[in-house]
C-alpha cells in the first residue's frame, strides 16, 4: 500500500519490512515514494535555535539529537540537567536547568529562540495533575511570548470521541493553555508511538515477554493506529516550518489500524512467543492498573494513565499532515523491526539508568523499564567520607550488611558458573570504571556523587545497584537503589522472590555506610588534634 493512500477504517497490514530498517533515519526514502515525496526536504535549522522543554522524557530524548542532526542549535532542558549531560549529545546541544513550574527559570533559556518544542508531562506530580499541567503550559506560553518565540510545537495525543481519561484531559488542557497565548501553536496528536522506551509499546513488549497466558481487560479488543518513532520525528521536525497562519492541530497515524491483541500477536512473532489472551469484563481501571504494574515494568502512575488511555479506540485521521509532509510510513511490522534493529545497533539515545539499554546487556527481551526499590539515610558525615566508604563495596566480601545472605548468593552464583568470588580492582582503596567486584562491574562513577554497579551474576534479567550522595538541609543524604530489568516470567519471579529481602538489606547497608563514614571522620579528627 502506498504510504500516502487513504484507507480510513480498513487499513490492511503490510508484510514485514526488511530487517535493515533503522531508527531514526529521516533522510532515507522508500522506492515507493512519489515524485512529490522526492522533492520534499526537511527544514534546515542551521543558524536557528530550538528549545526542547522536557528533554529528559521519551520524546525529548529522541527529539534533541534529531534537531541537532538537522543543524539546529538545541537548548535541551530538564529540572536536572545532569541527566541530559550524561547523554553526550555534542556541541550543538546545550543542557540547561529549567522547571516550567518556576517561571523565573524560563526567560534566559528562551532568549533568541525561534521554535520551542513543548514535551513536558506532569504525571510525576501525582494526585490531580491536570491543574498542574495547565499552570506549566501557561507559564511556558507567557515566557515564549515575552521572548519573541515564533512557534510552539506541542506533541499531544489523539482525543477519543468518548469521555476523556484524566491523562487525555491533561493533554487537552495543555494544548488549550498554549493556544491562549499569543505565540502560534502547532499541535501534533499521535496514538501509540512504536520505538524503544515508548511506554505503551514497552507495556506490549513486557506483556508478551512475561506472560504465556494473559487475562486482560476488554480493552484488548480496542483499536489504534500505531506510528513509528521515525515517522513522528519527521513530522515533528517539519512542524517547525509548516506554512500555517494561526494555530493548527494535526493528527498523526501509521498505515495500520490494529487491535491491541493484534499488536501483541505481531510483536510475539518477532519475539518468538505466543501469548494466549483471555479478555474479561470484570477488571476495573484501578484493578487493571495494579495488574499492569505487577506484570510490566512501567511506573505506577504511568500504568494507571495507560489503562485509562487503552479503554478507547485511538484512530488518527492523518490525511492533512500526509499531504503536507509526504514520507514513507512504516507499518507496525516495520516499526517493530526498526525498534529491534536500533537496540541491536546501540542507536538508542536514552541513557538514564532505569531505561538504559546498556543495563539490559543490549537484550530486547529484558524489560526496558526497571522494577526498583530505593531507600535513603541521613548522616552527619561529609560526602567525601561517605564516598570513601562506598569505594570499599565488596572488598573481602564486605557488602556493608547481612554478610551471610550475600555469601549465600555469591556461593549459589559460583556453583552455577557465575563470576562471584572474582575481583579485578586496580586499586585496593578506590574503584575505577570497569573494575569488577565479586559479580558487580563499575558502570558509572562520579566521585562524591554517584557509584553505579552492573550485576553480572547469573539471573533471569539484568540488575543495577546505584549509590548516590547529595547535600540536603545541611546534612548528607545517601540514597541506594536496586534496579531490575526482568527477562520473562522467571525474571519477574526473581524480583518478587527477592523483594522482601531488599528492604532490610538496603536499609541495613545505608545505616552501616553512615556509621562507618561518621566513624572515619571522628578518627581523622582525633588524629588531627594530636
Specify the higher pLDDT residue, 353 or 259: 259
The pLDDT confidence band at residue 37, using thresholds 50, 70 and 90, is very low
- Give the up-direction half-sphere exposure of residue 191: CA atoms within 13 A in the CB hemisphere: 25
Residue recorded with cell 498523526 = 252
Specify the higher pLDDT residue, 429 or 29: 429
The pLDDT confidence band at residue 167, using thresholds 50, 70 and 90, is low
In angstroms, rounded to a whole number, what is the distance separating the alpha carbons of residues 377 and 161?
49
**Residue 346 cell numbers, joined:** 546501540
- The hierarchical CATH code for the domain 42-190 is 3.40.50.720
Residue 407 has a pLDDT of 81
Window from 35-49, 63-77, 359-373, 443-457 with minimum mean pLDDT: 35-49
Average pLDDT over residues 53-57: 90
Specify the higher pLDDT residue, 413 or 259: 259
Residue 444 has pLDDT above 50, yes or no: yes
Residue 15 has a pLDDT of 28
CATH 3.30.530.20 residue ranges for the chain: 371-529
Residue 259 has pLDDT above 70, yes or no: yes
**Residue 293 cell numbers, joined:** 504494574
Which residues touch 158 (CB under 8 Å, ≥6 apart)? 189, 190, 191, 251, 252, 253, 314, 315, 316
Tell me whether residue 259 is exposed, middle or buried, using C-beta atoms within 10 angstroms of its C-beta: 0 to 12, 13 to 18, 19 or more: middle
Average pLDDT over residues 302-331: 82
Specify the higher pLDDT residue, 218 or 252: 252
The pLDDT confidence band at residue 254, using thresholds 50, 70 and 90, is very high
Residue 285 has a pLDDT of 59
In angstroms, rounded to a whole number, what is the distance separating the alpha carbons of residues 206 and 486?
9
Window from 98-107, 319-328, 334-343 with minimum mean pLDDT: 334-343
Q: What is the DSSP string of 341-405?
A: HHHHTT------GGG-TGGGTT-TTB-SSPEEEEEEEEESS-HHHHHHHHTTTTGGG--SS-HHH
3-state secondary structure of 329: coil
Give which of 282, 261, 489 is closest to 365, Cα–Cα.
Answer: 489
3-state secondary structure of 227: strand
Over residues 74-121, the pLDDT tens digits come to: 999 998 887 788 777 888 999 999 999 999 999 999 999 999 999 998
Window from 85-94, 327-336, 414-423 with minimum mean pLDDT: 414-423
Over residues 446-484, the pLDDT tens digits come to: 888 888 888 888 888 888 888 999 888 888 999 998 888
Specify the higher pLDDT residue, 518 or 26: 518
In angstroms, rounded to a whole number, what is the distance separating the alpha carbons of residues 391 and 313?
52
Residue 360 has pLDDT above 60, yes or no: no
Residue 79 has a pLDDT of 87
Residue 38 has pLDDT above 50, yes or no: no
Residue 357 has a pLDDT of 45
Specify the higher pLDDT residue, 353 or 418: 418
- 65 near 349, Cβ under 8 Å? yes
Residue 3 has a pLDDT of 33
Over residues 199-230, the pLDDT tens digits come to: 788 888 888 887 777 666 676 788 889 999 99
In angstroms, rounded to a whole number, what is the distance separating the alpha carbons of residues 192 and 224?
7
1-5, 177-181, 460-464, 519-523 — most confident range: 177-181
**Residue 447 cell numbers, joined:** 566521585
The pLDDT confidence band at residue 16, using thresholds 50, 70 and 90, is very low
Residue 189 has a pLDDT of 93
The pLDDT confidence band at residue 26, using thresholds 50, 70 and 90, is very low
Residue 342 has a pLDDT of 79
Per DSSP, 13 falls in state P
**Residue 377 cell numbers, joined:** 539515610
CATH 3.40.50.720 residue ranges for the chain: 42-190
109-123, 159-173, 420-434 — most confident range: 109-123
Q: Which CATH architecture has domain 371-529?
A: 2-Layer Sandwich (3.30)
Compute the CA torsion angle 286, 290, 292, 298 (nearest 10 deg): 110
- Give the up-direction half-sphere exposure of residue 506: CA atoms within 13 A in the CB hemisphere: 21
Residue 165 has a pLDDT of 61
Window from 47-56, 131-140, 397-406 with minimum mean pLDDT: 397-406
Residue 347 has pLDDT above 70, yes or no: no
Specify the higher pLDDT residue, 514 or 293: 514
Give which of 479, 510, 508, 490 is closest to 404, Cα–Cα.
Answer: 508
Summary mean pLDDT of the chain: 80
Average pLDDT over residues 506-521: 92
Give which of 311, 125, 275, 93 is closest to 200, Cα–Cα.
Answer: 311
Q: What does the H/E/C string look like for 428-466?
A: CCCCCCCCEECCEEEEEEECCCEEEEEECCCCCEEEEEE
Residue 426 has pLDDT above 90, yes or no: no
Average pLDDT over residues 145-162: 88
Residue 127 has a pLDDT of 55
Amino acid at each position: 500500500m502506498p504510504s500516502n493512500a487513504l484507507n480510513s477504517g480498513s487499513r490492511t497490514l503490510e508484510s514485514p519490512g526488511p530487517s535493515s530498517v533503522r531508527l531514526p533515519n529521516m533522510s532515507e526514502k522508500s522506492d515507493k515514494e512519489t515524485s512529490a515525496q522526492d522533492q520534499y526536504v526537511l527544514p534546515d535549522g542551521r543558524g536557528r535555535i530550538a528549545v526542547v522543554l522536557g528533554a529528559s522524557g521519551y520524546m525529548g530524548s529522541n527529539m534533541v539529537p534529531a534537531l541537532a542532526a538537522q543543524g539546529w542549535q538545541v537548548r535541551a532542558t530538564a529540572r536536572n540537567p545532569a541527566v541530559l549531560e550524561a547523554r553526550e549529545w555534542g556541541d550543538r546541544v546545550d543542557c540547561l536547568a529549567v522547571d516550567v513550574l518556576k517561571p523565573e527559570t524560563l526567560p534566559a533559556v528562551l532568549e533568541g529562540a525561534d521554535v520551542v518544542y513543548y514535551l513536558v508531562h506532569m504525571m510525576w506530580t501525582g494526585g490531580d495533575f491536570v491543574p498542574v499541567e495547565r499552570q506549566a503550559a501557561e507559564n511556558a506560553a507567557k515566557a515564549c511570548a515575552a521572548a519573541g518565540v515564533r512557534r510552539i510545537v506541542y506533541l499531544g495525543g489523539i482525543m477519543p470521541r468518548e469521555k476523556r481519561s484524566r491523562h487525555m484531559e491533561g493533554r487537552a488542557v495543555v494544548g488549550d493553555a498554549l493556544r491562549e497565548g499569543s505565540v502560534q501553536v502547532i499541535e501534533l496528536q499521535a496514538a501509540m508511538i512504536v520505538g524503544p522506551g515508548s511506554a505503551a509499546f514497552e507495556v506490549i513488549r513486557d506483556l508478551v515477554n512475561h506472560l504465556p497466558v494473559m487475562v486482560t481487560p476488554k480493552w484488548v479488543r480496542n483499536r489504534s493506529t500505531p506510528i513509528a518513532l521515525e515517522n513522528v520525528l519527521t513530522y515533528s521536525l517539519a512542524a517547525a516550518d509548516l506554512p500555517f497562519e494561526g494555530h493548527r492541530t494535526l493528527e498523526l497515524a501509521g498505515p495500520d489500524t490494529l487491535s491491541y491483541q493484534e499488536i501483541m500477536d505481531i510483536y510475539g512473532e518477532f519475539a518468538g512467543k505466543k501469548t494466549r489472551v483471555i479478555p474479561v469484563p470484570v477488571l476495573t481501571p484501578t484493578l487493571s492498573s495494579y495488574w499492569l504494574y505487577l506484570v510490566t515494568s512501567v511506573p505506577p502512575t504511568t500504568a494507571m494513565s495507560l489503562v485509562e488511555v487503552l479503554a478507547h479506540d485511538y484512530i488518527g485521521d492523518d490525511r492533512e499532515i500526509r499531504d503536507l509532509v509526504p514520507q514513507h510510513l512504516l507499518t507496525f511490522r516495520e516499526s517493530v523491526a526498526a525498534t529491534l534493529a536500533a537496540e541491536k545497533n546501540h542507536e538508542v539515545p536514552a541513557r538514564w539508568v532505569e531505561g538504559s539499554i546498556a543495563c539490559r546487556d543490549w537484550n530486547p527481551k529484558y524489560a526496558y523499564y526497571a522494577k526498583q526499590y530505593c531507600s535513603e539515610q541521613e548522616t552527619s558525615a561529609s560526602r567525601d567520607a561517605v564516598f570513601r566508604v562506598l569505594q570499599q563495596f565488596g572488598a573481602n566480601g564486605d557488602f556493608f550488611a547481612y554478610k551471610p545472605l550475600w555469601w549465600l548468593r555469591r556461593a549459589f552464583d559460583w556453583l552455577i558458573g557465575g563470576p562471584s568470588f572474582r575481583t579485578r580492582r586496580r586499586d585496593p582503596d578506590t574503584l575505577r570504571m570497569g573494575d569488577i567486584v565479586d559479580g558487580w562491574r563499575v558502570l558509572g562513577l562520579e566521585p562524591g556523587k554517584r557509584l553505579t554497579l552492573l550485576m553480572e551474576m547469573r539471573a533471569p534479567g539484568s540488575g543495577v545497584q546505584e549509590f548516590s550522595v547529595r547535600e540536603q538541609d545541611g546534612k548528607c543524604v545517601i540514597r541506594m537503589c536496586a534496579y531490575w530489568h526482568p527477562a520473562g516470567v522467571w525474571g519477574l519471579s526473581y524480583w518478587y522472590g527477592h523483594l522482601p529481602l531488599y528492604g532490610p538489606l538496603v536499609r541495613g547497608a545505608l545505616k552501616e555506610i553512615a556509621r562507618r563514614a561518621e566513624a572515619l571522620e571522628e578518627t581523622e579528627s582525633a588524629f588531627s588534634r594530636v
